Structure 1
Amino acid sequence: MDEYPLQVSYRVRTSADKVHEIAQEIAIEQTVEVTRPLWDVDGVRDKTTGKVVRVERSSKNTFDVTIAYPLSTTSYEIPQVLNVIYGNISLKRGIRVQDFCLNETMAKAFGGPRIGVDGIRRKLRVYNRPLVASAIKPIGRSIDELCAFARKMAKGGLDLIKDDHGFSNQDVAPFEKRVMMCASAVKEGAQKGGNKTLYFASITGPADEILHRALFAKACGADGVLLPPMIVSLDMMRLVRDKTGMIVMAHPALCGVFFSTKSHGISVEIMLGKLFRLCGADIVIFPSSGGRFPFTTKDCKAIVGQLLGDLWGIKKAFPCPAGGMKVQDLMRHLKTYGKDSILLIGSSLYEQSEDLELNTRQLMSKVNHASEEARLKAWGL
């Protein structure tokens, strides 16, 4: 597979008499992008064009097509690999990326998480339960108010506190002042509560500002950064990983355009699971089933499988279900996502009472108790 380090599985909606022609069109369009007379020459057809390796019927008018792409076309750069996987053909209809496979060399070139599940657990010294997170919100509150929320949640024992992903550099909470004060507030609250809490600063902004913002957040004491890869780009996430050494938390904003239908786009577990993990996310936020977004439990478990499964020795990334998770549904979430997850509970935590520190302590107590019960049950005690 060294000459063809990338294989992509597409689901194609068409008729049996057209599928082989469409498969060949995909292989050409995604590589040499020329008409057949220009493609069918030595050195192009045999060295730089994708190769159709499988065509199988999935249902009456749906077929699974696998195409192998040569190294001469893909190189080992994230933008070009993405271009080959689903560049021009994303402009067509009835073609969906179901999965892709890389050889070990290409997977290592992507790199994956720098810190990963095990590294985050070591930072927190928490090994036997899910981690728990919440968000500093909402936009419109003053920085002093946001810091008060952060301080209370850290003192109450949360493992992770992130900025709401909508924070950038708004007048009501300018980036540098907000990050400097929130990082300090999280540290102060954690020290007073005798806890270890990681703070993630939202660094979304203009392309030429993002790395600067990440490094500024690090200088202020932030442990990680929050960014939306499909807004700032997957390769920007890779750059932040490489240049800062911080924990990278990926947000799914804008991703819905890729998997809102079953006949077009990229499958949800490949987008939010495999791609985000390969490109450097240590933590991937995704909508939990039963929340504000139309994700099923099957969708969520498929994402988890891609984040935690074996992938050429690439480190595992933490699944972080979110999007309307409620404190009262805690047991269901624990059962669905298991120990290696980060439960991100936002508004529901604030709504339990006016005492945010107490709300946090009660939530952490429930998580610890439930996790201990699960361990005892697993041991048959």
Structure 2
Amino acid sequence: MNRTIRGLEDHETQERKRLHRDVRSPSQRLADALKLGQVQIGGMFGAGVCLFLFPVLATPLFLVGIALFLARCACVNGERLPFRMPMGLYGTDRGDPLPGRGGFARPEGIFFLGNRLQDKQELWLKAKDILTHCLLFGTTGSGKTETLVSLSYNALATASGLFYIDPKASPKLAVQIWQMARFLGRDDDFRVLNYGTSGKVKGKSPRRLSNTNNPFTFGSAEALTQLLVSLMPASDGANSIFADKAQALISGVMYALVDLRDKGLLKLSTSIIRDALALEKCVALALHPELDQESRASIQAALGTSGWIAGREMKDQPPSFAEQFGYAQSYFGKALSSLTDTYSHIYGAEDGEVDFADAIMQQWIEIHSSLCFYIICYFYCEIFLSGSLDSPEKSACSLHFCGYICGYQNLGCPKREIV
């Protein structure tokens, strides 16, 4: 029994240009053809060859060559690329008109996208075009990651900063970016935060899995509190009162710890925060003699929400105090355990090697390989929104810091939404 094959064969495919009818008149087609650069240059070359082959027609061939040369000169000024012209070219960019005026801007293209498939023309973007952001769609295996890696070369080639977030944690990504940085002599600027813990086997782990980072070295108490609150597990309506007590507790503790950190009495880290949330140490922190009045009032008010009474010894506190405190403390147990134990190869250092504000100013190259990258995005948001880069000496330099997130994902942070 013969099967009936339904579908197109290779010999049945049609070219796209045969599906679209050209409605131009013959004269219009000729005029448009003469405007093409390859036709003009080819005509001049052909006229020059014919001068030697047919000397008797030297005069008309010479006039044809002159006409094509003048046509070429006239058309060059009107030529443009599909997007922008690359920086460094002479003249104006016809594809970048000045708003409200009849002129055109100078070529300012600095970001090379590639070549257009139809005619191989270069596709350039200028700095303002990049700031409007880009979103790249593609099916699985279509080459999204390789495309973003190739586009990141623009940032490296212009000595710009770069942070690349890869939720898939591709093993070869960091090697690819490092090779490009090495080729451009920027391997000293390379940093990587690797959240993959599959290689953490005692006695068999590599010497270094990642660079280190301490997100609590800098920042205000409010910003650090919001970071920890964003790591809290979701609670339903019945347990919302305990979640509110947990937020009040961590807010008071962070005010006290940041106060001591700013006075140089301790180096704040995830392990210090976890230890400070223990019942006895939290009460001792509330009674610390070096706290200022505002921080002391904040942490004592936070303890008061759990039933703590100031001026009493621990043995004289209400029986429900330890129970209520334990409920509030439990909201941060998993998050602090992950930061302190699971990711100890990153957050276990008191003085981290990666400082996000310094990375922006010094134009570092950072690779963040993990599904736990909302912490990184949160701190970049805080840096840009806090105005820490608005000082005159910092704003005098031109900052171009490119960021790539490989993998479409909606990141939920308090009062932030990053795609």
Shorter-normalised TM range: under 0.3
Determine which structure has more spread, i.e. the larger CA radius of gyration.
2
Say which structure, 1 or 2, has more relative contact order (CA 8 Å, 6+ apart).
2
TM-score (norm 1): 0.27
